[in-house]
Amino acid sequence: MTRTADDPIRVGVLGARGRMGDEVCRAVDCAPDMVLVAKVDDGDKIGEVVDAHAEVVVDFTHPDVVMANLEFCLANGVRCVVGTSGFDTARIDQVRQWLGDEPELGVLIAPNFALGAVLTMRFAQLAARYYPTVEIIELHHNRKADAPSGTAAHTARMIAAARKDAGLGEIPDATTSAADGARGASMDDVRVHSVRLSGLVAHQEVLFGGDGETLTIRHDSLDRCSFMPGVLLGVRKMVQRNGLVVGLENLLDD
Amino acid sequence: MTRTADDPIRVGVLGARGRMGDEVCRAVDCAPDMVLVAKVDDGDKIGEVVDAHAEVVVDFTHPDVVMANLEFCLANGVRCVVGTSGFDTARIDQVRQWLGDEPELGVLIAPNFALGAVLTMRFAQLAARYYPTVEIIELHHNRKADAPSGTAAHTARMIAAARKDAGLGEIPDATTSAADGARGASMDDVRVHSVRLSGLVAHQEVLFGGDGETLTIRHDSLDRCSFMPGVLLGVRKMVQRNGLVVGLENLLDD
Amino acid sequence: MTRTADDPIRVGVLGARGRMGDEVCRAVDCAPDMVLVAKVDDGDKIGEVVDAHAEVVVDFTHPDVVMANLEFCLANGVRCVVGTSGFDTARIDQVRQWLGDEPELGVLIAPNFALGAVLTMRFAQLAARYYPTVEIIELHHNRKADAPSGTAAHTARMIAAARKDAGLGEIPDATTSAADGARGASMDDVRVHSVRLSGLVAHQEVLFGGDGETLTIRHDSLDRCSFMPGVLLGVRKMVQRNGLVVGLENLLDD
Amino acid sequence: MTRTADDPIRVGVLGARGRMGDEVCRAVDCAPDMVLVAKVDDGDKIGEVVDAHAEVVVDFTHPDVVMANLEFCLANGVRCVVGTSGFDTARIDQVRQWLGDEPELGVLIAPNFALGAVLTMRFAQLAARYYPTVEIIELHHNRKADAPSGTAAHTARMIAAARKDAGLGEIPDATTSAADGARGASMDDVRVHSVRLSGLVAHQEVLFGGDGETLTIRHDSLDRCSFMPGVLLGVRKMVQRNGLVVGLENLLDD
């Protein structure tokens, strides 16, 4: 079945009754260029997405079932946009193997679909080479169990890699006497500070400092719906792109 | 000699050729209600302040000499505004003893003369009772040797005391898994995060979080001259107030 | 009926099925020191609050009915906490007249119950005398119809009054060439800037500038529930306070 | 004379005794890969830069003399990095004509050399297509005569162009009732707000808003020295690049 640019994209949602899946269903319903053809959750048959001729599925399920979902979809010619967590190198290699050497289908696996979070990472990566010093502050509600956030840790690593590529050495720091914890956690030599307060949702600041100036990139995510534009962008891109893409940032600017 | 409200205040400066003292001299020179009558530094005789009939001296000297300066001034009827660091309980008690039970002179000892820093502490103290959660971020240039800053540590302690007075318990925090240092330093149970970047000067944020809202008080100090309004306020208040005052915040709103 | 400190406060809610009233009902239900005894809305009889022996009613209704509600409650010995808008000087005078010269009941009328908004105003008022320059930025979602927000206008007026009391003149501003609107709206000579963006909720910053330093007070309100602690505080205070109080800020620090 | 990568770049400075020129001289002196060979100002002969075999001149002079400087340098085989203001289309066309169709020399003309300002513009341009709403706040000391700043106006225009390229329409805004000036100045349909406070230096925020999230890019310039890394980058790039470049942002990431 060849698609034309005017055809709405046929989308199925796996994990459709979960918090995120439910938002995805509503977002797809509202998108003028998409049609929601299948909603699948625990107890439903995944085969519904094939029967409904879904072109792309969006998977917000669980680490325990996502691999089986992916294997089934790829075997049945359905493209995948995946927000489920837990993808390590082994899992990513497995998906790449399923896709084969000359992939005719596309899979996107992304840990964070908020455009602002993705743009923050991208900009931080671009700015890193120009500044001798950089630190990250991430701020979340005080019900969060882990610190720092996965996104902050990922951002720190991207910055560290960009500094290394640019030949920058260690970040200069004159601290000789510090109370335990005052200078934050060191992630690949980038300091990350985690603030926890009631009233906050999910926020991140990357602060760069140079001679006589600072540059700050801040992302405030106030609602789960902030992930939806990123999910819809993923669907639009992957309907016509083959192979594996890890990270939404790789689909920007195409 | 009785002063009238119209007489300019006669001010002497100790440490007049130091970085801060030099600024104080210029600030006093520019104040329409003051006249600079003595500038004393290493090698000069402190007696000059008496010969010049100074009513108030401002001391930005060194911990090694400040106590001798104070003893001399009080013995000679000169009031004192002190920005020199190093005042522990023993020194403060000594000054109080010199002043006597019915003090006829006034002394102000203050660790921070920036009005914004003082107001930040005051407001933080007032807000503390209304919010279940609070953290402090202080940001300085990366040549600073210690962390957290003295002002941040002092602010944390004031907040902790205000919470205790209001009957608030420990700050609720769901963190169960944290990278070392991510959650900052605990000063009297208040988390303090110290950011160090080139391009910064001296900045502090106090963040309060409650149900669905946050309140942030931020002070940015970009220039040493930010201390001068606080010094001049100290001079104006202490020319007519007797006894020992520790902390500029106790002179606001009089 | 004399109350003892251990008795839960008996609360009635007028406008109980509205957006705010519904939140109030839930907040009262959860407060260990209160009991919700009456929920009244369109079509119900207001007399229910008397039958249920409510000590305090919370009114989030409509400018068209709030005056009749107040008259009834005061005539029947019920104290009032009012969040309904539309109180001009004439209405406030009327309420004061109903209370009489030696009031035996209390009424609180407040335009904003978020503690952070109230503290922001209070702190802005306290800081105003110490800074030569001040401006306000308020930021709201882009569905808001009016600019600036009522809270920002109110804050500007409080700052202007505090400056006048302190003998400060006009705010110095060297602008000689400005694009139309660039310098914001002048409210009593204080500049107010209104930002409208999707993704925002309700935010306000008051920025003070002096020699070499700035002081910023920022309130972020992310959820309607942020008004509830202020409403409950109003109830707790007004159960034992007689007379008219306008503005929650007058109940802080008691 | 062919240069090798190991040769230090021979730099001349025009306007060497001005505020900015003086900073440039010191920055070049400190750069390990450059040597300062000529300092020229009013009363000196511009021919000195040729006698000293300067490869690149940096021009921070005055709109009245910069065109003569450029003509002389290009006629004598010297490359140019220009921070002097006042370049309109006619002047830019003139420079392009001097360079000719197959330029063998390079000229960089840039209105702002602070890396953070340049990166802010670049990131704003990249983010613009992803967000329905955007506004700019620029904040400067209250001795500034014009509003908005040239950089803010330039940023607004870049954002407007990027939105147009991406097919985005007008920015949605529900404001129906606004105090005069509250909603800022409209620059190509992008709202710009100009804050003026003592204590500030030069700051700019670009705020993007989308579904449930905001992205903020902020640049704080606290010292004139913040322009130097950009000037040195310009020198390093233009020593080996031919043709006209307008805007430092076009030299990043090469």
Q: What is the largest CA-CA distance in chain C?
A: 67
Distance of CA A245 to the CA centre of its chain: 11
CA distance B162 to chain C (A): 12
Contact B175 A145 (CB under 8 A): yes
- B200 contacts on D by Cβ (under 8 Å): 222
> Does A170 touch chain D if contact means CB atoms closer than 8 Å?
no
The residue among C119, C141, C222, C223 with the most chain A CBs within 10 A of its CB, best to mutate, is C222
The one catalytic residue in A39, A53, A62, A144 is A144
CA atoms lying within 13 Å on the CB side of residue B168: 19
B78-103 residues labelled b (16+ CB within 10 A) or e (exposed): bbbbbbbeebeeeeeeebeebbeeee
The predicted-structure confidence for C80-110, as pLDDT tens digits, reads as follows 999 988 788 899 999 999 999 999 999 999 8
Strands of the sheet with C190-196, listed across from one edge? B185-187, B190-196, B133-140, B202-210, B213-221, C213-221, C202-210, C133-140, C190-196, C185-187
Domain ranges in chain C are 9-109+225-251, 115-222
Of C73, C204, C230, nearest to C149 (Cα)? Answer: C204
Residue B107's H or E segment, with its range, is strand B106-109
Is B162 known to sit in a ligand binding site? Answer: no
pLDDT of D253 reads: 66
Is D18 known to sit in a ligand binding site? Answer: yes
Token pair of D108 as six digits: 């960089």
Residue numbers in the known binding site of C are 15-20, 42, 83-85, 110-113, 141, 150-151
Nearest CA in chain A to D127: A119
Contact D221 A212 (CB under 8 A): yes
The predicted-structure confidence for B11-39, as pLDDT tens digits, reads as follows 999 999 998 999 999 999 999 999 999 99
CA distance B222 to chain D (A): 7
**Secondary structure tally for chain A: helices H, strands E:** 7, 13
Contact A201 C222 (CB under 8 A): yes
**C193 against A224, higher pLDDT:** C193
Q: Scanning the structure block, which residue is given the tokens 């192979």?
A: A243
Given a cut of 70, the residues of chain B with pLDDT beneath it are 1-2, 253-254
The DSSP string of C53-111 is T-SEEEE---TTTHHHHHHHHHHTT-EEEE--S---HHHHHHHHHHH-SS-SSEEEE-S
- A120 contacts on D by Cβ (under 8 Å): 215
CB C182 within 8 A of CB D184: yes
- C226 contacts on A by Cβ (under 8 Å): 199
- D 186-225 residues with CB < 8 A to B: 199-201, 220, 222
B185-203 residues labelled b (16+ CB within 10 A) or e (exposed): bebeebbbbbbbbbbbbbb
Question: Residues for chain A: how many in total?
Answer: 254
CATH code: domain D115-222 is: 3.30.360.10
Token pair of B34 as six digits: 């003051």
Partners of chain C (3+ Cβ pairs below 8 A): A, B, D
pLDDT of A154 reads: 84
Fold type of domain B9-109+225-251: Rossmann fold (3.40.50)
Contact C114 B213 (CB under 8 A): yes
Of A42, A37, A33, nearest to A52 (Cα)? Answer: A37
D127 DSSP 8-state letter: H
Strand C213-221 to C177-178 pairing:
unpaired
pLDDT at C254 over 80: no
CA distance C89 to chain A (A): 35
Quote the pTM value: 0.86
- B201 contacts on D by Cβ (under 8 Å): 222
**A207 against C112, higher pLDDT:** A207
Q: Which amino acid is at C176?
A: T
- C226 contacts on B by Cβ (under 8 Å): 210-213
CB D218 within 8 A of CB D157: no
pLDDT of C253 reads: 66
Mean pLDDT by 10 residues, chain A (254 residues): 81 95 94 96 95 97 94 97 87 96 95 90 94 97 89 91 96 92 96 97 96 96 87 95 91 71
Q: What residues of D are labeled active site?
A: 140, 144
Alpha helices in B52-149 (DSSP H): 66-75, 89-99, 115-127
Is D110 known to sit in a ligand binding site? Answer: yes
- CA separation for the pair C177, C161 (Å, rounded): 28
Mean pLDDT by 10 residues, chain D (254 residues): 81 95 94 96 95 97 94 97 87 96 95 90 94 97 89 91 96 92 96 97 96 96 88 95 91 71
Of C43, C157, C63, nearest to C109 (Cα)? Answer: C63
B175 burial type by CB count under 10 A (0-12 exposed, 13-18 middle, 19+ buried): middle
